[in-house]
Structure 1
Amino acid sequence: MSSTDYPHWERVSTRWKDNDVYGHLNNVVHYSLMDTVINNWLIRRGGLDIHDGAVIGLCVESRCSYHQAAAYPEALELGLRVGHLGRSSVRYEVGIHRADRETLVAEGLFTHVFVDRASRRPREITGELRAALEELRPPSAG
């Protein structure tokens, strides 16, 4: 996958506590990075109110494939795109790259189902949130 396939990029600096005893980022850090870039987008661009909104996104699936080790101190570039946008769910694809945006460290998939906060029943993705997710569809998706 090319770096141009990601409509959104966010730079994240690794932290001292991210390294494990083997001297590289612990695997759970990769999941935290994915969760962060996704939720930053949803809050800033999609208007998602994580504290008081009627609709929330629940993670129903996540996975990560590791290609290279990364460690503190290092700046990483996270590419974000939408691989599938359904009625109430979305599958994000996240590429964790070195600062050059070309060298892939890890790639992950993360699926949200948007639900009513109180009932936890699926809710259709509409309005500002849907528009923000549409922006994350790569040009090659058509």
Structure 2
Amino acid sequence: MVSYPHWHTVPLRWKDNDVYGHVNNVVHYALMDTVINTWLVERGGLDIATGPVIGLCVESHCAYHASVSFPDSLRIGLRVAHLGRSSVRYEIGMYSTADVLVAEGHFVHVFVDRETRRPVSVSGKLRESLAELLLPA
């Protein structure tokens, strides 16, 4: 299993299955977004409702390797591949309870001023929390 500094287990829901009997591809994207933003709010202090800085997704990708279905859970690994001045590239791995790689992807945030939507420097507690997810070079 690939190394991730943070793991989050998410139980799958009945409604996550599609008509083919497996978790629909859009659910994987929603889970990536949820795990990332949970980290940003809980560890980075990001105030998504009224804070002056927000993260905008400018790129995302997901490669699917195996099927998974309710009532399984996914163990989702999170790491930072690149931490720039105003952007961050996350890498995410999703594993079944049997440690089978289900999907892996990446997600790029650019942090911007809430009002102007212009890029801002990632700093303070937010930068510190993202640095925790960086793997050693």
Aligned letter for 1:19?
A: N
Report the residue type matching 1:36 in the other structure.
Answer: T
Q: Match of 1:103?
A: 100
Q: Which residue in 2 is equivalent to 1:45?
A: 43
Corresponding position of 2:9: 11
Structure 2 equivalent of residue 54 of structure 1 = 52
* 1:16-70, Cα deviation, whole Å (9 max, x unpaired): 1100000000000000000000000000000000000000000000010000001
Match runs of 1:64-83 below 5 Å: 64-83=62-81
Superposition deviation, residue 79 in structure 1: 0.2
Letter in 2 for 1:95: G
Q: Distance in 2 between matches of 1:29 and 1:81?
A: 20
Q: CA deviation at 1:75?
A: 1.0
2:47 maps to a residue whose letter is D
Alignment partner of 2:115 out of 101, 105, 118: 118
Runs of 4+ aligned structure 1 residues displaced above 3 Å come to none
- Across the aligned residues of Structure 1 and Structure 2, the Cα RMSD in angstroms comes to 0.9
- Alignment TM-score, normalising by the size of structure 2: 0.97
TM-score, reference length from structure 1: 0.94
Which residue in 2 is equivalent to 1:92? 90
Aligned residue pairs total: 137
Identical positions, percent? 63
Give ranges in structure 2 of 5+ residues lacking alignment.
none
Between Structure 1 and Structure 2, the one with more helix by share is 1
**Residue deviations 1:68-96 (CA, integer Å, cap 9, x gap):** 00111111100000011100000000000
Q: How far off its partner does 1:103 sit?
A: 1.7
Shift of 1:99: 2.1
Q: Distance in 2 between matches of 1:63 and 1:95?
A: 12
Q: Which runs of 5+ in 1 are unaligned?
A: none
Paired letter, 2:109: H
Q: CA–CA distance in 2 between the matches of 1:23 and 1:10?
A: 24
